[in-house]
């Protein structure tokens, strides 16, 4: 091939104007069975074997793998889409909030399993790596096999989330990107004291969710309303917010109510977060949910303000019920501002 001066990249890319790096098998065979057949010296059965080697389940042939194997190089990306696809660490960020939460739940669960088994993952992926060019790509089928070996037996909808996140194309996965984000979860577990210096969990029975970041901060809950740069200070009087929290606090203490008795039922993953509807239901339960107690009245404006103040900065549709409970139970929170 090199002696006769043909560049297969140039030939196949003419048949692939969209740069998917896959073409129908008929086109692939037409190239090798055409004028090149006499030059490359392959029989028809051998050409079919080559085609089958690089053929996907949908009948398309991945000519980029074939060309890389022959020429030992890959031409530079021509578009931004190609650059992102070929970057081994670029991931699909177009996940819904629900998919993103599920992704980090999956990564956390995998991280815990890997820690228990003391596995070093990269060699397992490299053993199956496509073309052995260290390009960080393996087939979806192989990716699933490695996950199964790791003990991560996931339902189809969870596997679909991983594929959507790390997919290079319709049949291959960027395992380098997967391992990079998994390492970030390992770091999170260690920095937040879920694990020791060796990566072992302090409490193996307590499997945290990666979503559960430290909640207390000046930008969340009651504390934010007293900040000089609070963006709503011209619309909402901080004292009004303080009065709402004080009213709830007095009601809770007088009637010996624990907010967690309601919210923990709707937060089985112990993320300290619930959906907005559950957050509102918890406020209603707090106000009217007990017999032989004086009802607590929260008007719609007060409820809307609480929904706003206790929204998760990362996932606004999720509400930080634990921060609300802490603000209600902590009377010292007001002292610095009175």
Band (pLDDT 50/70/90 cuts) for residue 293 is low
Integer Cα distance of 258 and 251 in angstroms: 11
**In the chain, domain spans:** 8-72, 97-192, 223-329
Q: What is the pLDDT of residues 1-22, one digit of tens each?
A: 444 456 788 888 888 887 777 8
pLDDT (0 to 100) of residue 162: 92
SS3 state at 41: coil
Domain 8-72 sits in CATH at 1.10.238
The pTM score is 0.45
Check for a shared fold between 8-72 and 97-192: yes
- Among 326, 255, 322, CA closest to 295: 255
Give strand ranges (E) for 146-278.
172-174, 274-275
| Distances, alpha carbon 206 to alpha carbons 103, 196, 215, 257, in Å | 19, 14, 18, 27
Integer Cα distance of 159 and 175 in angstroms: 14
Superfamily of structural domain 97-192: EF-hand (1.10.238.10)
Q: Are 127 and 54 in contact (CB under 8 A)?
A: no
Better-predicted residue by pLDDT, 31 or 218: 31
What percent of the chain has pLDDT above 70?
Answer: 71
């Amino acid at each position: 091939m090199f002696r006769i001066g043909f560049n297969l990249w140039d030939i196949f890319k003419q048949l692939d104007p969209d740069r998917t790096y896959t073409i129908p098998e008929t086109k692939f065979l037409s190239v090798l069975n055409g004028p090149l057949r006499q030059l490359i010296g392959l029989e028809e059965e051998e050409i079919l074997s080559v085609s089958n080697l690089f053929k996907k389940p949908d009948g398309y042939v991945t000519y980029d793998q074939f060309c890389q194997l022959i020429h030992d190089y890959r031409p530079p990306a021509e578009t931004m889409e190609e650059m992102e696809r070929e970057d081994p660490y670029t991931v699909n960020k177009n996940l819904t909030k629900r998919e993103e939460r599920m992704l980090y739940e999956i990564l956390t669960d995998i991280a815990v399993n890997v820690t228990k088994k003391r596995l070093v993952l990269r060699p397992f992926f490299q053993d199956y790596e496509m073309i052995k060019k260290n390009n960080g790509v393996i087939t979806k089928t192989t990716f699933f096999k490695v996950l199964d070996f790791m003990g991560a037996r996931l339902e189809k909808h969870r596997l679909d989330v991983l594929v959507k996140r790390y997919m290079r194309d319709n049949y291959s996965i960027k395992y380098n990107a997967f391992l990079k984000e998994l390492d970030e979860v390992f770091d999170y577990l260690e920095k937040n004291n879920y694990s020791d210096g060796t990566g072992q969990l302090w409490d193996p029975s307590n499997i945290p969710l990666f979503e559960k970041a430290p909640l207390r901060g000046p930008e969340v809950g009651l504390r934010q309303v007293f900040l000089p740069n609070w963006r709503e200070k011209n619309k909402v009087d901080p004292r009004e917010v303080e009065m709402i929290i004080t009213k709830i606090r007095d009601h809770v203490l007088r009637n010996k109510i624990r907010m967690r008795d309601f919210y923990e039922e709707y937060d089985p993953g112990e993320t300290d977060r619930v959906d907005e509807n559950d957050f509102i239901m918890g406020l209603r339960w707090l106000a009217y949910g007990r017999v032989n107690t004086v009802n607590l009245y929260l008007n719609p404006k007060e409820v809307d303000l609480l929904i706003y103040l206790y929204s998760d900065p990362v996932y606004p549709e999720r509400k930080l019920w634990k921060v609300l409970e802490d603000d209600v139970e902590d009377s010292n929170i007001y002292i610095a501002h009175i």
